[in-house]
């Protein structure tokens, strides 16, 4: 088999890239190790920046997002017993949408199927060949048969644990990493939202976050030991912890409901540079990871593939390689700024067990400064909505 662009991974990065290339008349094949049902039901991110919404709209797949996604014009920061609103719209003129990542995946798969280009699901033994030579190819197993696709380009959109990144030789690849000494315990709850807007709470017992998925489902997180086990957390223990971290004297109450999903997520910051080697290009989590505090992961994946689809389109239209050559440098500029913001939000809002009393006071003072200063709130809001 031969195609123009072989894409490994049907996450937001791989599926959107395939769709954007199709809109530019470029043929691609997407290989995915999991099943369609699995990728369409895995609960992950929730927040889309305005720029990401615009890209989905321009690509003609924004209709359900516009109808079912909830537009948020601000969020709240809770600390020291009070709550403070960050008015994103007033500070930046932009907003964000809460629209679950698996819904974006459903919309993208539907668009690919409608175009007659369904990803190859449940492939295994995916391997890349000759990525810096003349005949790049990807081999794999699919439905019990061995397959091989030759392509002009191979795009690694296969997430942090994928096979693409290790194909960049060690002497060429530089990796930057920070693993945090805590994780997030995430739950899905059957109940009406407790708040119209997200609440990011700093508390001495640890960070907590109130988000939503729909008018009948809440998404809640709280900082935990990354090595803890879900079995150690009964529903009662979870609610006690969330009430303790989120409720203060102002009368606001967290809505309880049936907890129907629990999970623990580790947290890291990670960047691989460069994001290109030969005809292999990396996009999304394959090249970088941010802790979820800044809600940037899916948005970075979307902005990578926007750059990449432009570069590939320019190449196929006119033979110019300039944008392809600049891809890694351009993508990494945005990546590092989002890494900084995600690290900063994480440091600002989490409890570090080894922090000295002085460092704890500095954290409080930074939060007080932030809400007191329009300039600092504006910087936070610009980063959060991705207004660059
Ligand atoms: P994905 O989504 O991990 O997709 C990679 C796909 O590649 C497949 N794959 C392979 N396929 C074939 N052969 C192989 N050898 C393969 N190896 C892997 C995998 O099965 C998978 O389907 O990467 P992509 O496309 O780069 O997308 C990145 C986002 O998924 C990720 O950054 C976000 O989910 C991060 N994130 C958030 N991002 C936001 O923008 N806003 C948020 O509010 C937000 N919240 C979150 C998050 C991530 C979270 N978790 C679970 C880490 C909240 C959480 C809790
Ligand atoms: C989510 O709704 O899953 C969510 C929202 C904001 C974040 C991270 C996750 O910062």
List pLDDT tens digits, range 158-169: 999 999 999 999
CA dist 297 and 32 (Å) reads 19
Domains, the chain, with CATH or none: 5-46+100-173+274-345 (3.50.50.60), 181-266+353-385 (3.30.9.10)
Which residues contact residue 270 at a Cβ distance below 8 angstroms, ignoring those fewer than 6 apart?
160, 175, 176, 177, 178, 288, 289
* Best mutation site among 275, 298, 345 for ligand 1 pocket (most ligand atoms within 8 Å of CB): 298
pLDDT in tens, 329-338: 999 999 999 9
The CA-atom distances, in angstroms, between 300 and each of 33, 51, 142, 238, 295 are 22, 10, 30, 31, 10
Ligand at minimal distance from the CA of 219 is 2
Structure confidence at residue 133 as a pLDDT band (50, 70, 90): confident
Looking up tokens 């102002």, which residue turns up? 250
* Best mutation site among 219, 261, 346 for ligand 2 pocket (most ligand atoms within 8 Å of CB): 219
Predicted pLDDT of residue 334? 97
Ligand at minimal distance from the CA of 210 is 2
CA dist 234 and 85 (Å) reads 32
CA dist 176 and 171 (Å) reads 14
CA dist 47 and 349 (Å) reads 18
pLDDT in tens, 72-131: 999 999 999 999 999 999 999 999 999 999 999 999 999 999 999 999 999 999 999 999
For 275-286, what is the mean pLDDT?
98
Predicted pLDDT of residue 317? 96
Ligand 1 centre distance from Cα of residue 323 (Å): 25
pLDDT in tens, 211-236: 999 899 999 999 999 999 999 999 99
- Crossing angle between the packed helical segments 50-58 and 297-318, to the nearest 10 degrees: 40
pLDDT in tens, 192-215: 999 999 999 999 999 999 999 989
pLDDT in tens, 20-54: 999 999 999 999 999 999 999 998 888 999 999 99
Structure confidence at residue 248 as a pLDDT band (50, 70, 90): confident
Helices (H), the chain: 12-23, 36-39, 50-58, 63-68, 88-92, 101-114, 235-246, 297-318, 322-349, 357-372, 374-385
* pTM of the predicted protein model: 0.96
Mean pLDDT for all residues in the chain = 96
Residue 135 CA from chain centroid, whole number: 33
The CB of 309 under 6 Å from ligand 2? The reply is: no
Predicted pLDDT of residue 388? 63
pLDDT in tens, 355-367: 999 999 999 999 9
Nearest to 9 by CA among 44, 50, 51, 39: 39
- Of ligand 2's listed atoms, the one at least distance from the Cα of 43 is 3
Tell the residue nearest (CA) to atom 7 of ligand 2. Answer: 295
Nearest to 238 by CA among 266, 261, 265, 211: 261
Tell the residue nearest (CA) to atom 36 of ligand 1. Answer: 45
Sign of CA dihedral 149, 153, 157, 163: positive
CA dist 195 and 67 (Å) reads 20
How many C-beta atoms lie closer than 10 Å to residue 305's C-beta? 29
Q: What's the per-residue H, E or C state across 197-222?
A: CCEEECCCCCCEEEEEEECCEEEEEE
Ligand at minimal distance from the CA of 188 is 2
For 229-253, what is the mean pLDDT?
95
Which residues contact residue 171 at a Cβ distance below 8 angstroms, ignoring those fewer than 6 apart?
none
Asked if 217 contacts 231 with a C-beta cutoff of 8 angstroms, the reply is no
Predicted pLDDT of residue 283? 98
Residues annotated as catalytic are: 72, 200, 292, 296, 384
What DSSP designation does 120 have?
B
For the residues of 148-216, what is the DSSP string, one character each?
Answer: EEEEEEEEE---TT-SSGGGS-TTT-EEEEEEEEEEEEEEEEES--S-SS-EEE--TT--EEEEEEETT
Asked if 222 contacts 303 with a C-beta cutoff of 8 angstroms, the reply is no
Partners of 280 in the β-ladder:
154, 277
Partners of 72 in the β-ladder:
96
Tell the residue nearest (CA) to atom 17 of ligand 1. Answer: 162
Ligand 1 centre distance from Cα of residue 317 (Å): 31
For 264-291, what is the mean pLDDT?
98
Ligand 1 centre distance from Cα of residue 9 (Å): 10
């Amino acid at each position: 088999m031969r195609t123009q662009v072989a894409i490994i991974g049907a996450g937001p990065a791989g599926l959107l890239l395939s769709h954007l290339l199709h809109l530019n008349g470029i043929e691609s094949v997407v290989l995915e190790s999991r099943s369609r049902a699995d990728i369409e039901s895995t609960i992950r991110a929730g927040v889309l920046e305005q720029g990401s919404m615009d890209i989905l709209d321009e690509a003609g797949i924004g209709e359900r997002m516009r109808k079912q996604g909830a537009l948020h014009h601000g969020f709240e920061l809770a600390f020291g017993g009070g709550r403070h609103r960050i008015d994103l719209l007033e500070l930046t003129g932009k907003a964000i949408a809460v629209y679950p990542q698996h819904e974006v995946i459903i919309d993208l798969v539907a668009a690919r199927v409608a175009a007659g280009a369904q990803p190859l699901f449940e492939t295994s033994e995916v391997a890349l060949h000759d990525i810096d030579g003349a005949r790049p190819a990807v081999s794999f197993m699919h439905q019990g048969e061995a397959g091989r696709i030759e392509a002009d380009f191979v795009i690694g959109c296969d997430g942090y644990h994928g096979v693409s990144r290790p194909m960049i030789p060690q002497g060429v690849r530089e990796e930057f990493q920070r693993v945090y000494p805590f994780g997030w315990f995430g739950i899905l709850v059957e109940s009406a939202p407790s708040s119209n807007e997200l609440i990011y709470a700093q508390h001495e017992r640890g960070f907590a976050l109130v988000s939503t998925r729909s008018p009948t489902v809440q998404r809640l997180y709280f900082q935990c030991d990354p090595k803890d086990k879900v079995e150690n957390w009964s529903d009662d223990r979870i609610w006690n912890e969330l009430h303790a971290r989120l409720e203060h004297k102002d009368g606001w109450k967290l809505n309880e409901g049936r907890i129907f999903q629990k999970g623990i997520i580790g947290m890291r910051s990670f960047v691989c540079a460069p994001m290109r080697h030969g005809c292999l290009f990396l996009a999304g989590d394959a090249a970088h990871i941010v802790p979820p505090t800044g809600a940037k992961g899916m948005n970075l994946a979307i902005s990578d593939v926007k750059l990449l689809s432009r570069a590939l389109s320019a190449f196929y239209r006119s033979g110019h390689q300039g944008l392809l050559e600049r891809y890694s440098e351009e993508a990494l500029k945005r990546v590092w700024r989002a890494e900084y913001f995600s690290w900063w939000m994480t440091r600002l809002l989490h409890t570090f067990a080894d922090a000295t009393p002085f460092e704890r006071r500095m954290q409080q003072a930074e939060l007080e400064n932030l809400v007191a200063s329009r300039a600092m709130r504006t910087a936070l809001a610009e980063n959060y909505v991705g207004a660059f």
